[in-house]
Chain A
Amino acid sequence: VFLQLVANGLVTGSVLAIGAVGVSLVYGILRLVNFAYGDVMTFGAFVGVLINVKLGLQMLPAAALAMVATAALSIALEGVLWRPLRARRAGFMSLFLVSIGLALVLRHVIFLVAGPQPRSYDVDPYKVYVLGEVRLSGSQGVAVVSAGVAIVLVALLLGATSLGRTMRAVADDRVLAAVAGIDTGRVVVLTWLVAGLLAGLAGVLAALVQSSFDPNFGFSLLLPIFAAVVLGGIGSAYGALLGGLVLGLATELSTWPELHGGVDPVYKPVVAFAVLIGCLLLRPQGLLGRARTL
């Protein structure tokens, strides 16, 4: 049972980690706590439904097109919403409230267009991978592998390319980066591109793992994703990755029977929220971060 819970935790955790890296990048570069991120993920998942179920394409092109669509949406929103807000010197409070308004708009437009009925992708639900004691469904296996690939790619992007270096410079000190000749406008657009691709992937994978989802599902993932971001240290992409995995493992392992009978599985989200609050109170700099004034 323990190994199975660890495997489930890694599946949940890797999906949360992808979302958390996206949220963390946007926060690091733009100082924006994006409440609309969950609903952007929902948008990606439903673009996937459109392509996979309505048009009958395979899951792989469906996921790729969903990622492109969420990236396009994110960049379009930068153009019509976030850039004008920054031009007005809107503070974080305004940005926060606007992201809530945007979350409501996205979610209910998806409700309007796609309807409230639960959806699922056209995949073989009986495909199972068996590794020793652990059984993973096909969707779970795909989720872990593609999450791993995506995270390695993001790490390479941030660590080994000049674009990644400029992104980290802007995150560190925007004004200084601009003075040093970095085109911050371009970095912002590229950040939205990466965060959008990650949102699309996280949306499709979360939808695959849940097997059935409605337009509310992205918002319900938002708080666990925030928890992963906070756990890893806000603004740190590697931390977000670690935070996602730790949170996934913590929520799944909390139900382990050997642990005083374990937590009732219905309380798994509560475990995530409790981790979130506890981490904010006890270690606001995150697991890896060094203490500093926040």
Chain B
Amino acid sequence: VSTIASGEFWAFVGVVAGIYTLLALGVQLEFGFAGLLNFGHVAFMAIGAYTMAILVVKSDWSLWLATPAAILVAAFAGVVVGLPTLRLRADYFAIATIAFSEIVRYVATNEDRLTGGSQGTINLAGAGQAASYNGQWERFQDRVQTALHLGSKDVTMLVLVWAVALACTAALYAAGRTPWGRVLRAIREDEDAVASLGKNAFAFKLQALALGSALAGLAGCFYAWQFSFFSPGDFAPLLTFFAWMIVILGGLGRFFAVPVGALVFGVLFAGTRFFDFAPFDWFDSAERAYLRLTLIGLLIIGLVLFRPQGIAGRREELVLE
């Protein structure tokens, strides 16, 4: 039986799509609503994952305290980055944030004593001891699996991550319909007009960035639990661009377009790994990885050129300018 037909494989694809949903919801809030071009989104995912892992391994915190703390630290990092940079023009803001995300990755790679260095979280407790941060998570997952009579660990993770991802999507959908959400969209369209109505546009943008960073931090925690080990290399700028791709693919300006985009992206990205017919069988697995990323690049270009509203976006709501 080929892997493509196995339920286990598709459960894995679903889990990854759920984690991407959380990550991309932040981009949707920041760009699709507030118009912020954050190209360093992955940094806040890294900050969330590392904060959770470090608090559990080094400070012996309970996972259930470390996770909210990690999300708060990610949100706080968003505020710290936003305070000086949000007044920059959109393209400068993009370059400043991607530089920030590379600084985070370099620091995580080289500060061995804090993060375990390039070897990843296995070194968190120092060399020679294999550190693990997700014992408590595994026990929780087992309890959920028994309580809900689920077939496997993967399916349990699938249920958990999508429950959280859809809850976040729904909460953001509701928030987007409040006066707060309307102000954000107005900022995206015309910041000066918003300011002239007496609204503090800067404060609203900062809130969007903090909330988006918190979502990235949460995505980082789920990423950490799913793979039970991670290293700085996992948080390369490519991941930020995946999140952007998902938002553009799903449709800008609509939160429910994000899970749609993430699922389509997950199937495209993971599914093509197992295409074993021509022209895919001309390439070995490493080459197919390059081919996949080439196709993703072409898809980004094609979407911007031919369908800027994505799969589920409304053209009248927002088109890329």
Q: Could you list which residues of chain A lie within 8 angstroms of chain B, going by C-beta atoms?
A: 33, 81, 84-85, 88, 90-94, 96-98, 100-109, 111-112, 116, 223, 226-227, 230, 264, 266-267, 269-270, 273-274, 276-277, 280-281, 284, 294
Contact A277 to B297, CB < 8 A, known contacts A91-B320, A92-B91, A267-B110: no
Contact A101 to B321, CB < 8 A, known contacts A90-B304, A230-B95, A280-B88: no
Q: Which residues of A contact B253 (CB under 8 A)?
A: none
Task: Check B256 for interface membership: any CB of A closer than 8 A.
Answer: no
Main secondary structure of the interface of A (DSSP, over half): helix
Count residues on chain B whose CB falls below 8 Å from chain A CBs: 42
User: Could you tell me the distance between the alpha carbons of A98 and B102 in the complex, rounded to whole angstroms?
Assistant: 21
Are A226 and B294 neighbours in the complex by a CB distance under 8 Å?
Answer: no
Given contacts A112-B290, A266-B110, 19 further A-B contacts (CB under 8 A): A81-B301, A85-B305, A90-B320, A96-B37, A96-B91, A101-B296, A101-B299, A104-B293, A104-B296, A105-B294, A105-B298, A108-B291, A109-B290, A223-B95, A223-B102, A274-B103, A277-B99, A284-B88, A294-B92
Are A284 and B92 neighbours in the complex by a CB distance under 8 Å?
Answer: yes
Are A33 and B91 neighbours in the complex by a CB distance under 8 Å?
Answer: yes
Are B106 and A98 neighbours in the complex by a CB distance under 8 Å?
Answer: no
Q: Which of A88, A226, A277, A294 contacts B100 (CB 8 A)?
A: A277
Within 8 A of A (CB), among B277-305: 283, 286-287, 290-291, 293-294, 296-301, 304-305
Contact A276 to B287, CB < 8 A, known contacts A97-B300, A294-B89: no
Are B89 and A98 neighbours in the complex by a CB distance under 8 Å?
Answer: no
Closest residue of chain B to A84 (Cβ to Cβ) is B305
Closest 7 CB pairs of A and B: A104-B297, A101-B300, A91-B321, A105-B297, A101-B301, A273-B99, A111-B290
Query: Would you give 13 A-B contacts (Cβ < 8 Å), ordered by A?
Result: A33-B91, A92-B321, A93-B320, A97-B304, A100-B241, A105-B294, A108-B290, A108-B293, A227-B99, A269-B102, A270-B102, A276-B95, A280-B92
User: Could you tell me the distance between the alpha carbons of A90 and B305 in the complex, rounded to whole angstroms?
Assistant: 9
Q: Which residues of B contact A277 (CB under 8 A)?
A: 85, 96, 99-100
Are A105 and B103 neighbours in the complex by a CB distance under 8 Å?
Answer: no
Task: Check B50 for interface membership: any CB of A closer than 8 A.
Answer: no
